[in-house]
Chain A
Amino acid sequence: MRTALFGAAALVALLAAAPSPPPATVVHIRDDSFIPASITVRAGDKVTFVNDDDDAHTATADDSSWDSEGLNQGQKWTHVFAKAGKVTYHCTVHPMMHGTVSVRSAS
């Protein structure tokens, strides 16, 4: 019994010490702009795009490797950036809107 309690306490301590996953970085789409337009994340991080505008928008990689497709006002879309590197993206409905995600190595 004492052994079992000790084991459970150790597990709780271990879980408490483990680093929690970072919250998703949020990019707002507002007034026909990505805000912020440039972000830096680590490989494996999530980025959530939130459309605050009354107009439709997308967040679409310039190389077409990922695409939120159409987002209405209030809708959001999350993408995991797995690989290190610099990714540029745009809104296909408003191609003058551009953004950049710089992905650092996780190590």
Chain B
Amino acid sequence: MRRGDFVNHVAWTGAGIVYVLGAEGIVRATASAAPGAFSFVQISDSHIGYTGPANGDVRGTLEKAVAGINAMPNQPAFVIHTGDVTHLSKASEFDDARAVLSTLKAPLLTIPGEHDVIGAEGPKRFAASFGRKGASSRGWSSWDQGGIHFVALINVGEGETMGVLGDEQLAWLQKDLDARKPETPIVVFGHVPLFAVAPEWGWTTADGTKAIAMLRRFSAVTVLNGHIHQVVEQTDGAIRFATARSTAFPQAAPGTPGAKPGPLKVAPDSLLGVLGYRTVQVEGAGAWRERTLAQG
């Protein structure tokens, strides 16, 4: 499918974006998912507790996303929430988020965003609500599933910069990746974009280039982030980067004159069209389909 056809397909279905990442690391658009393929879902930036004008019902839109995922005919192997589950790290917000996300049929994994680790209690509340077995004491983890090596990074809560991995996590990542063969498909999750989307807005990871350098020897790498509430994509060699939509509210596109980061109010009847989640379908060794749903 050519790019133009792909855009038309998205416009026609209103369903989202579909990609294939081949074993050669080249991504191209495709039409639909193959039934029965191994898949997972990325959901992000739910900001439970936000009450501003950009979305008066963030719980409702998260519930809508969960309902859409639960309605998938072939349930994903897992759902990963890439952070900012809550808006202010309050106990009641974690309770509300967990109440909704616990209704997912598929297993849930969650990594924190900067809104989930506010104050002394935020990290503890996040760990109590969404911490999981198998993760390091600091929260980062990796696992193998469906022929893919998955890596979940934590790049918030380290202090002076918005996104930072830190030397301890980078050392762990180097050791983790050293044990993998170059042809192993790699999928990396993190909240703040690993690549420099808009550093002036804090939309980058300060030491992300160090992690990217470690990933360059692999033939097919996908890096999926949240934080910026919109889909921005970039390909760098065999590494494909993509940020995700929010389930709560959009933010301005980087470079928009006069814009600043933060909740962006859109016309009420347009809101659902800029919120969503992403499905990634794995067709076989090294071949992928990635689908982003903007509606439903």
Taking beta carbons and an 8 Å cutoff, which residues of A are in contact with B?
Answer: 31-32, 53-56, 58, 67, 69-73, 90, 92-96
Q: Are A54 and B87 in contact (CB under 8 A)?
A: no
Q: Are A32 and B260 in contact (CB under 8 A)?
A: yes
Which one of B46-54, B94-102, B269-277 contacts A?
Answer: B46-54
Q: Are B89 and A73 in contact (CB under 8 A)?
A: no
In angstroms, how far is the closest chain A Cβ from the Cβ of B26? 36
With beta carbons under 8 angstroms apart, the residue of B118, B120, B262 that contacts A53 is B262
Q: Are B160 and A93 in contact (CB under 8 A)?
A: no
Given known contacts A54-B53, A56-B87, A72-B51, is B262 in contact with A92 (CB within 8 Å)?
Answer: no
In angstroms, how far is the closest chain A Cβ from the Cβ of B160? 5
With beta carbons under 8 angstroms apart, the residue of A54, A70, A95, A96 that contacts B90 is A70
Q: Are A32 and B262 in contact (CB under 8 A)?
A: yes
- List the A side residues contacting B262 at CB < 8 Å: 32, 53-55
Q: Are B118 and A93 in contact (CB under 8 A)?
A: yes
- List the B side residues contacting A95 at CB < 8 Å: 159-162, 202
With beta carbons under 8 angstroms apart, the residue of B88, B119, B120 that contacts A72 is B88
Q: Give the distance in Å from the alpha carbon of A9 to the alpha carbon of B275 in the complex.
A: 68
In angstroms, how far is the closest chain A Cβ from the Cβ of B53? 7
Q: Are A55 and B263 in contact (CB under 8 A)?
A: yes
Tell me the count of chain B residues lying within 8 A, CB to CB, of chain A: 27
Q: Are A92 and B52 in contact (CB under 8 A)?
A: no
- List the B side residues contacting A67 at CB < 8 Å: 119-120
Q: Are A31 and B260 in contact (CB under 8 A)?
A: yes
Q: Are B202 and A69 in contact (CB under 8 A)?
A: no
Q: Give the distance in Å from the alpha carbon of A74 to the alpha carbon of B220 in the complex.
A: 47
Q: Are B87 and A69 in contact (CB under 8 A)?
A: no
B123-161 vs A: 1/0 string, CB under 8 Å? 000000000000000000000000000000000000111
- List the B side residues contacting A32 at CB < 8 Å: 260-262
What residue in chain B is nearest A69 (Cβ atoms)? Answer: B119
Interface centre among A32, A58, A69, A90 (most CB of B within 10 A): A69
What residue in chain A is nearest B120 (Cβ atoms)? Answer: A67
With beta carbons under 8 angstroms apart, the residue of B50, B52, B89, B161 that contacts A69 is B89
Q: Are B162 and A56 in contact (CB under 8 A)?
A: no
Q: Give the distance in Å from the alpha carbon of A34 to the alpha carbon of B155 in the complex.
A: 25
Interface centre among A69, A71, A92, A96 (most CB of B within 10 A): A92
Indicate whether B115 reaches chain A with its CB closer than 8 angstroms: yes
